[in-house]
Amino acid sequence: MSLSDILARIETARHTAGRGPVTLVAVSKVQPDARVEAVLEQGQRVFGENRVQEAAGKWPGFRERFAGIELHLIGPLQTNKLRQALDLFDVIQSVDRPKLARLLAEEAQARGTCPDLFIQVNTGEEPQKAGVLPAEADAFIAQVRDDYGLPLKGLMVIPPVDEEPSLHFALLAKIAQRNGLEGLSMGMSSDFESAIALGATHVRVGSALFGDRVTG
Ligand SMILES: *Cc1c(COP(=O)(O)O)cnc(C)c1O
């Protein structure tokens, strides 16, 4: 589907639901450079990658050629990649544990700057999945935002593949609302319209925009 088709569907969904602006995060992981470049040529500037290493190989080059790129990390962040991630990304959506928050706070202090942050919530309580548990979310939000003073913008979720995503979107929205957070990163290729209906401010769309991923 073309970029303009996706943007039109986002606009329709947010008008129907009476929602504010929604940012399309174009998920470019594992996509051939030519496909990413075509979307850049069409004016898209916000992209998501889930691996630091892969992003490091591809985005510095694009940044030299296209102004105004905003890069989001949407995959788990290992602490040994933290500095590299801070050099590359404008937004980190996958803050998911106290140790990472502490190291982010230290680096932010040393650098005098920090990317915008989202906390990933494991609403499905899946053991293999990153994210804080819903019951731990309020305390972790307070730690990141209030204790460390980090620029926390919102929450992110990846619902379980075999469950109705709307229940997870609604839970994420509820946690955000009771904590006074505005950003909600939820919804992917197959469900971004229902995420927008439930308040998504950022949708992460990969395969619907770029075509199927070869691997990963
Ligand atoms: C790959 C990925 C996406 C995009 O998934 P599609 O179904 O291809 O749109 C969104 N969010 C995260 C965290 C991802 O890893």
**Residue keyed to tokens 């949407």:** 74
Nearest CA to ligand 1 atom 13: 74
Identify which of 204, 205, 209, 210 to mutate to test ligand 1's pocket (most ligand atoms within 8 A of the CB).
204
Identify which of 27, 94, 121, 168 to mutate to test ligand 1's pocket (most ligand atoms within 8 A of the CB).
27
Contact between residue 17 and residue 194 where contact means Cβ atoms under 8 Å apart: no
Write down the pTM of the prediction. 0.97
CATH, range 3-210: 3.20.20.10
CA distance 73 to 54: 11
CA 78 to chain centre: 16
User: pLDDT 10s digit of each residue in the chain, 216 long?
Assistant: 999 999 999 999 999 999 999 999 999 999 999 999 999 999 999 999 999 999 999 999 999 999 999 999 999 999 999 999 999 999 999 999 999 999 999 999 999 999 999 999 999 999 999 999 999 999 999 999 999 999 999 999 999 999 999 999 999 999 999 999 999 999 999 999 999 999 999 999 999 999 887 654
Handedness of CA 39, 43, 49, 55 (dihedral sign): positive
Give all strands (DSSP E) within 40-198, no chain letters. Answer: 46-49, 70-73, 91-95, 116-120, 152-156, 183-185
Three-class DSSP category at 145: helix
Give the domain ranges of the chain.
3-210
